[in-house]
């Protein structure tokens, strides 16, 4: 996010690939296209340099912070999603 603009990740099936997917970004707002370009640059850098695979772990929403090991947490209505890699 940047002021009144936002970019978010997108996922689409690659053409002709039954099991291949492409990660990208879409931007909204005055600087949305620039934010999407910056996000895509990070996606490409991560794709070339990654040595680990991301793992998503799901906990009950009321799990205390001190019991969750992970760098990124997203709280949903009934769960806490933890992304680590």
Strands 55-60 and 72-75, bridge-based pairing: unpaired
Residue 80 shares a structural domain with residue 60: yes
Residue 60 shares a structural domain with residue 35: no
Structure confidence at residue 31 (pLDDT): 96
Structure confidence at residue 5 (pLDDT): 94
Structure confidence at residue 70 (pLDDT): 60
What's this model's pTM, rounded to 2 decimal places? 0.55
Residue 45 shares a structural domain with residue 67: no
Strands of the sheet containing 55-60, edge to edge, are 55-60, 79-84, 72-75
Question: How far is residue 54 from each of residues 2, 32, 69, 72, 83, measured CA to CA in Å?
Answer: 26, 26, 14, 11, 7
Please indicate, yes or no, if residue 42 is contained in any of the structural domains.
yes
Residue 14 shares a structural domain with residue 41: yes
Residue 11 shares a structural domain with residue 36: yes
Please indicate, yes or no, if residue 37 is contained in any of the structural domains.
yes
Domain that holds residue 34: 6-49
Q: List per-residue pLDDT tens for the chain, 85 residues long.
A: 889 999 999 988 887 766 778 889 999 999 999 999 999 999 888 887 777 777 788 889 888 877 776 667 788 889 988 877 6
């Amino acid at each position: 996010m940047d002021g009144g603009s936002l970019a978010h990740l997108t996922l689409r099936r690659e053409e002709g690939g039954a099991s291949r997917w492409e990660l990208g970004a879409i931007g909204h707002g005055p600087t949305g296209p620039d934010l999407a370009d910056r996000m895509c640059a990070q996606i490409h850098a991560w794709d070339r340099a990654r040595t680990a695979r991301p793992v998503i772990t799901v906990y009950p929403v009321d799990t205390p912070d001190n019991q969750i090991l992970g760098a990124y947490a997203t709280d949903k209505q009934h769960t806490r999603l933890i992304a680590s890699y």
